[in-house]
Every structure is written in C-alpha cells, then in structure tokens.
C-alpha cells in the first residue's frame, strides 16, 4: 500500500510539472498574439486553469482520502502482524522452555550415568593400584624383615639380661649376710658369674665346672678362638680378712692379712688353671663385690701388679662384662671371617632385591602419575559439562549451528 501511494504522488507531481510547462508555452504564445485575440485566449486560458485547479483540488482530496485510508489499513495490518508476532514469540518461548526442561533432565541423567561410570572405573583402577602397591611392598620388605630378625632376637636377649642384672642389683639382701660363710660366698659368686657369662656369650663359647687333664675343676672356662684357647675363671674369693679389716671388733684384721690372702689366691689360680699346651697363658680371678675390687685397685696397687706378673687378671662384675663383650666381639669376628663368602652372597642377593624393589617402585610411581593425569582429565571434562549446562540454563546457545530467531523468520514461518 505504501508503494501505491508513492507511485500516485509521483504521477501527480509529473502531471503538475507538465501542466506548468504547457501554461508557460501558452503564455509565450499569448504574448505573441494580437491584443483582442489575446484577451479571448486569456479568458479561455483562465477558464482552463480554473478547471484544472478544480480538478487538481479534487484529485488532491481524493489522494488525501486514499492516503488516509491506506494509512489506516496499513496501521491495522501492522497491529495485527505485531500481535501475531507477539503470540508467536510467546508460543516459541513456551516451546523453548519445555524443550530446555526436557534437555536438562536428559542431560542430568546422562551426566549422572557418565559420572557413575567414571567413578566405577576410577575406583577399579585405584583398587588395582592399591593391590599392586601392597603386594610389591610386602615382597620388598619381606626379606628386609628376615634380615633384621636375628638383630631383634639379640636385642630381646640383651633386654632380658639387663632385667636380670637390675633384679640382681636391686636385691635387698645385704652383702654381709649373704657372704657370711665360704659356701654362701662361693654360691653367690658362681651364680653371678653364670648370669654374666650366659647373657654375653653363646653356649658353645663357655662351659661351667670344666675339668682339666690334671684333675682340677674350674668354675668356668671361656672357649675362645686360637691362639687364645681356654681361659679359666675362678669365682671363689677370700673375704674374711676383708670384712675384719673394716670391723670395730677387737680382732680387727690388718691390711697385710688381707693382702696375704689375695696373694695366696692368685698363686693358687696361676698354679691350677694355667696349664701350658692346654689353656691360655692367663686366667681370671672374679671378685663378686665391686667394693672389694675398688679397695684392691685404690689402696693395694701392688696386688694388681703381682697378679699381672702371674698372668692372673682381677675382674669385678663390671670389668668382667667388658671382658666378655670383648670375647664376644672376637668370636663374632672369627665367625664372620669364616662365613664371609656366605655374607657376600647374601649381600649380593639383598642388593638385587633392592634393585628390583626400586624398579617396581618406579613402575608404581608411573602408574600413580597416570592415574593422577586421568583424574585431572576427568575433572576438566566434568567442568566443561557443568559450564555447558549453566549456559543452557541461561539460554546462551549462540553457536553457528543454532542462530538466533528474528522477527522476519517468524513471519516467514507463519
């Protein structure tokens, strides 16, 4: 309708231009005619102009009425089209909301199924890795535990020996009452000597109540490796004059009597328990009381030197433990040298085991790294799905495959 009105306006303008051109031509001709004829023609010309003016006025009125009518029809048509467009948009919005709801439910279901499947795979993979880790760790540490079992056994033995020594040290029985006679002193010395020796040395390295070839019997002998051989230990020590030396009674003994007893005991040990070709060239005189040992070393140094000249070493419980520890080290060193090839072989096996353990640990580290990468990729996929779902909820689908709808498209669909 708009194009028709425009065409009519153009025709009217063209017609007016043609009339103006014709009027101008007639005016020139009138100017060239005689006056009388010119007046008649002028009157005819004016009559024509009036008729033309009336015609143009009527034509203008008709054009105005037509334009008004066309405008009303165009406004009514446009309002109808806008109403239809709004109704179409509303219906499209409802359909889009319903479609988004269905897509959301389907996507949530699919996302749940995917997450469940991924969780199952990850749990299965982690369970496999955990089983391999446990298996390889058990295999790797099995031989290590076996290697240190003997050490733990020896530590338990040492702890037990220490407990026995503490019990023995914390005894409330006084030394004076316990050592009242020779038999009690001998039994006390033998018990203390046996406890010390058994806790420090293996069974094959000592023997109690050992009888030599000449018929004498020692309280204990140490069987040390060559060239030391047998070392006798005597635990019977004379304490009568030692006790009387510190007594307040009238028959108090002098230090000379105590020294004489110790010298005689040293001579007896050297004579009985140092046998050329059968024993070592020395023996041990065990003094079961630390106080007596301290008295000899502090005030009677000549007795120590005399014992060394006779190859008899005076030992207290503390120093005897040091001697036994040294003997234990000597025995262990000899056994180690004797079994050095076995130790080297076992160390080689242990090194190979640790090499395999390191290789398996490297493989395990790679598996764990791969599992971590898989988990990171799953997190990336999950984040992308969540972001896509958020865009769908905000109606932000603006990809090239799905262009936004326009009003003209809606008109074409109708």
* Per-residue pLDDT reduced to its tens digit, 166-196: 665 555 344 444 444 455 555 667 888 888 8
CA–CA gap between residue 299 and residue 303 (Å, rounded)? 9
User: 221 has which bridge partners?
Assistant: 207, 232
Among 151, 70, 118, smallest CA distance to 382 is for: 118
The helix (run of H) or strand (run of E) holding residue 311 is none
Q: Are strands 230-234 and 206-211 parallel, antiparallel or unpaired?
A: unpaired
CA–CA gap between residue 108 and residue 155 (Å, rounded)? 64
CB 194 within 8 A of CB 206: no
Among 258, 259, 193, 261, smallest CA distance to 231 is for: 193
pLDDT of residue 220: 92
Q: Who has greater pLDDT, 5 or 59?
A: 59
What are 107-126's pLDDT values in tens digits?
Answer: 778 777 877 777 777 777 77
Could you tell me what percent of the chain has a pLDDT over 90? 11
pLDDT of residue 175: 46
pLDDT of residue 182: 52
What are 148-163's pLDDT values in tens digits?
Answer: 676 667 667 776 776 7
What pTM does this model have?
0.41
Is 376 a residue whose pLDDT tops 60? yes
User: 234 has which bridge partners?
Assistant: 285
Is 395 a residue whose pLDDT tops 60? yes
Is 199 a residue whose pLDDT tops 80? yes
pLDDT of residue 409: 44
pLDDT of residue 283: 93
Residue 48 CB partners (closer than 8 Å, separation 6+) = none
């Amino acid at each position: 309708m708009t194009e028709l009105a425009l065409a009519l306006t153009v025709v009217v303008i063209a017609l007016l231009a043609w009339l103006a051109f014709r009027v101008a031509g007639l005016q020139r001709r009138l100017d060239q005619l005689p006056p009388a004829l010119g007046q008649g023609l002028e009157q005819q010309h004016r009559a024509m102009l009036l008729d033309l003016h009336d015609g143009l006025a009527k034509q203008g009125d008709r054009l105005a009425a037509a334009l008004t009518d066309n405008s009303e029809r165009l406004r009514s048509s446009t309002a109808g089209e806008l109403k239809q467009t709004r109704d179409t948009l509303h219906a499209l919005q409802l359909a889009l909301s319903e479609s988004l709801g269905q897509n959301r439910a389907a996507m949530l279901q699919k996302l749940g199924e995917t997450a469940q499947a991924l969780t199952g795979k990850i749990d299965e993979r982690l369970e496999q890795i955990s089983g391999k880790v446990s298996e390889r760790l058990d295999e790797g540490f099995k031989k290590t535990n076996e290697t240190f079992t003997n050490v733990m056994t020896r530590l338990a033995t040492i702890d037990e020996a220490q407990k026995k020594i503490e019990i023995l040290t914390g005894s409330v029985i006084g030394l004076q009452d316990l050592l009242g006679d020779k038999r009690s002193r001998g039994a006390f010395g033998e018990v203390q000597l046996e406890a010390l020796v058994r806790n420090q040395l293996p069974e094959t390295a000592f023997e109690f109540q050992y009888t030599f070839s000449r018929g004498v019997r020692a309280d204990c002998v140490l069987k040390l490796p060559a060239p030391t051989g047998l070392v006798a230990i005597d635990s019977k020590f004379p304490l009568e004059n030692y006790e009387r030396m510190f007594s307040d009674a009238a028959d108090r003994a002098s230090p000379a009597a105590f020294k004489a007893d110790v010298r005689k005991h040293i001579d007896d040990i050297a004579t009985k328990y140092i046998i050329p070709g059968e024993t070592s060239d020395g023996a041990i005189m065990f003094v079961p009381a630390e106080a007596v040992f301290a008295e000899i070393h502090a005030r009677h140094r000549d007795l120590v030197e005399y014992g060394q000249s006779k190859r008899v070493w005076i030992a207290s419980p503390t120093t005897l433990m040091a001697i036994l520890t040294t003997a234990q080290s000597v025995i262990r060193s000899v056994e180690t040298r004797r079994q050095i090839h076995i130790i080297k072989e076992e160390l080689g096996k242990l090194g190979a085991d640790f090499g395999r353990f390191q290789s398996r640990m490297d493989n395990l580290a790679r598996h764990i790294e791969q599992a971590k990468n898989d988990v990171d990729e799953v997190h990336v996929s999950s984040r992308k799905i969540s972001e896509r779902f958020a865009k769908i909820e905000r109606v932000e689908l603006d990809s090239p495959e799905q262009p936004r709808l326009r009003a003209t498209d809606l008109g074409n669909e109708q």
